[in-house]
């Protein structure tokens, strides 16, 4: 807890058994709620998560990274979190920065905080493939131009949110794939939330999850589309539901609150609850 605000860490997971314990062990006492959503892993991720005392939910199929995050945020809000920090359980980002990121939200200065791999110049030193670094810089420059902000990068998976952000953004309109992350930032900019950044070292190693070149290209094309959707929607030329005030939000619950429920409602309409 920071400044009287409850802090939740959410971990969207898929086959993270080898790195999960190391990640969880680095969470500090400021974390009030630990949640992991297992997107139907083929290893023992869910069982290990429960043994570590983490509130664990398991999808009944592999629905994708974006859908996983939707469940993460829904359950964090349902658990009473005021600040939610997303940490990948693959140990690519250090969980030791969770207090700093949560503190930036708790201060009331920022609504959303991104842990940047670019600030401090550590991305390449940490092992980021050169082609990913080049794509990162090109896409970031493009988005800064069209979104009208100046961020060091849009593609980090380590980020923190206020409760208001998660209750406001129409997250159920977003992709189930990796571009979900980028859509969230574009939505936050569109809805006028303040975004801060903090420098974060990164580690690329065998067990750390990383999308391949083909999926990186697909992601890059999705980023370009998200950016143009933002621009055209803002100009009133073409409306997009991901930026609409009536878009679907993650305010409904899929689960009853018990540990490790199967996500039989992963395709249910927003707000619908199934047991």
Q: pLDDT-based confidence at 131, cuts 50/70/90?
A: confident
Q: What's the average model confidence in pLDDT over 186-199?
A: 97
**CATH topology for the 7-241 domain:** Spore Coat Polysaccharide Biosynthesis Protein SpsA; Chain A (3.90.550)
pLDDT digits (tens, 9 = 90+) for 243-260: 999 899 998 555 544 444
> What residue segments make up the domains of the chain, in order of their start?
7-241
Q: What percent of the chain has pLDDT over 70?
A: 86
Read off the pLDDT of each residue in 49-57 and give the average, rounded to a whole number: 97
State the CB neighbour count (10 A cutoff) for residue 208: 18
Q: pLDDT (tens digit, 9 = 90+) per residue, 212-233?
A: 778 888 999 999 999 999 999 9
Cα four-point dihedral sign 138, 195, 102, 177: negative
Across the beta sheet with 55-59, the strand order is 195-199, 112-116, 159-162, 83-86, 7-13, 33-38, 55-59, 262-263
* CA–CA dist 19, 88 (Å, integer): 10
* pLDDT: which is higher, 52 or 128: 52
Each residue of 147-159: pLDDT tens digit? 999 999 999 999 9
Question: At residue 121, does pLDDT exceed 90?
Answer: no
For residue 48, the surrounding DSSP H or E stretch is: helix 45-51
Average pLDDT, the chain: 88
CA distance 121 to 138: 16
How far apart are the C-alpha atoms of 114 and 197, rounded to whole Å? 5
Provide the 10 A C-beta neighbour count for residue 222. Answer: 18
Name the band, by pLDDT with cuts 50, 70 and 90, for residue 120.
confident
pTM value is 0.87
C-alpha distances in angstroms, 166 versus 138, 234, 249? 28, 21, 8
Average pLDDT over residues 80-105: 95
């Amino acid at each position: 807890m920071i400044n009287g605000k409850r802090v939740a860490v959410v971990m969207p997971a898929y086959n993270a058994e080898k790195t999960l314990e190391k990640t969880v062990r680095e969470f500090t006492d400021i974390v009030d709620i630990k949640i992991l959503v297992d997107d139907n892993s083929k290893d023992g991720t869910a069982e290990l998560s429960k043994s570590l005392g983490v509130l664990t939910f398991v999808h009944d199929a592999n629905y994708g990274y974006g859908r996983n995050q939707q469940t993460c945020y829904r359950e964090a809000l349902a658990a009473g979190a005021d600040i939610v920090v997303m940490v990948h359980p693959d140990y690519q980002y250090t969980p030791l920065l969770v207090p700093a990121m949560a503190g930036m939200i708790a201060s009331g200065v920022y609504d959303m905080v991104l842990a940047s791999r670019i600030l401090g110049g550590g991305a390449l030193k940490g092992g980021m493939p050169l082609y990913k670094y080049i794509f990162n810089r090109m896409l970031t420059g493009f988005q800064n131009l069209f979104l009208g902000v100046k961020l060091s990068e849009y593609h980090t998976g380590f980020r923190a949110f206020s409760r208001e952000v998660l209750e406001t953004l129409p997250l159920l309109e977003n992709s189930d794939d990796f571009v979900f992350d980028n859509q969230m930032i574009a939505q936050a900019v569109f809805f006028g939330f303040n975004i801060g950044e903090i420098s974060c070292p990164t580690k690329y190693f065998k067990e750390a999850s990383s999308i391949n070149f083909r999926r990186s290209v697909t992601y890059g094309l999705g980023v370009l589309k998200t950016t143009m959707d933002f621009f055209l929607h803002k100009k009133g030329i073409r409306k997009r539901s991901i930026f609409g005030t009536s878009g679907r939000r993650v305010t409904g619950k899929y689960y009853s609150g018990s540990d490790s429920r199967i996500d039989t409602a992963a395709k249910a309409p927003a707000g619908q609850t199934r047991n």
